[in-house]
A and B are shown apart, each in its own frame.
Chain A
Amino acid sequence: MGTEEDEVYIGRVIGTVVSTIKDKMYEGRKILVVEGLDLEGKPESKYWLAVDVVQAGVGDRVLVLDEGNSARQVLGEEPNGPVRAVVVGVVDEVEVKA
C-alpha cells in the first residue's frame, strides 16, 4: 500500500462500496472497487477504491487516475481532500500493436 506510482491505469469495475461515515470529500459520490488489468485484459492484484465521475458500472472497463493533485482537480470543490483514485473514463477499445 502506498508504493504505487502516480499513473493512469486500465481497470475493471468489480463492485461498489457503501460508507456513511466518511471524509466530506466523498459525500454524495459513488465509490467503486476497480481491479487493475494488464494489456491483455487479465486482472492484476492491484486494485483501487475509486471515486466515480463518469457513471461507470460493474463490469465496465475504465480509466483509473491514481494521483492526488489530478484527483483534486477533477473533483474540484474541496481543494485539500484526501482522494487519490478517480474513475475518469469508460474504455471502449484498446489496441496494442507489437
Chain B
Amino acid sequence: MEFARVIGTLVATRKYEGLEGVKFLIVQPLDKALRPKGRPVVAADGTGQAGPGELVMVVASREAALALPVKFVPVDHAIVGIIDEVDLPGLTPEGGA
C-alpha cells in the first residue's frame, strides 16, 4: 500500500459486470515524503467517500479488487483509506529520493 493524492474524477457509465456503482478517481502516486512519483493512475474508490485533494492509501495489484463490493473485478488500484494525519519522524532528507 502506498500514499496517493486524489487529483480528479472519472465517470464511466458502461462498465464491466461487477463494477456497477463503483466510483473511479484519478490519483497521483506519492513517494514516502509525499512528493509526486510516476504517472497518475485510475483507482477504484473502496471507501466510497474520497474526493479530489485528499491524501489516501492505495493498494495495487490483485488486492485492489478485494476493496470493492464484488471481488475479482478488473481493477488494479483501489483506495482503501482516507488519511487524516501522517507523522514521519524517521524520514531522512536523503531517504526521500
Chain A residues with CB under 8 Å of chain B are 1-2, 12-23, 26, 31, 33, 35, 43, 45, 47-50, 58-59, 68, 71, 80-85
Contact = CB atoms under 8 A, between A and B. Distances in A.
B20 interface: no
B81 A21 contact: yes
A39 B49 CA distance: 40
21 contacts: A1-B2, A1-B58, A2-B60, A13-B90, A14-B89, A15-B87, A17-B85, A18-B84, A18-B86, A18-B87, A19-B84, A21-B49, A21-B50, A33-B88, A47-B2, A47-B32, A71-B63, A82-B66, A83-B1, A83-B63, A83-B80
Nearest to A48: B1
Contacts of A16: 86-87
Contacts of B88: 14-15, 33
Interface residues of B, number: 45
Given A14-B89, A17-B86, A68-B61, A80 B66 contact: yes
Given A14-B88, A20-B84, A68-B61, A81 B29 contact: no
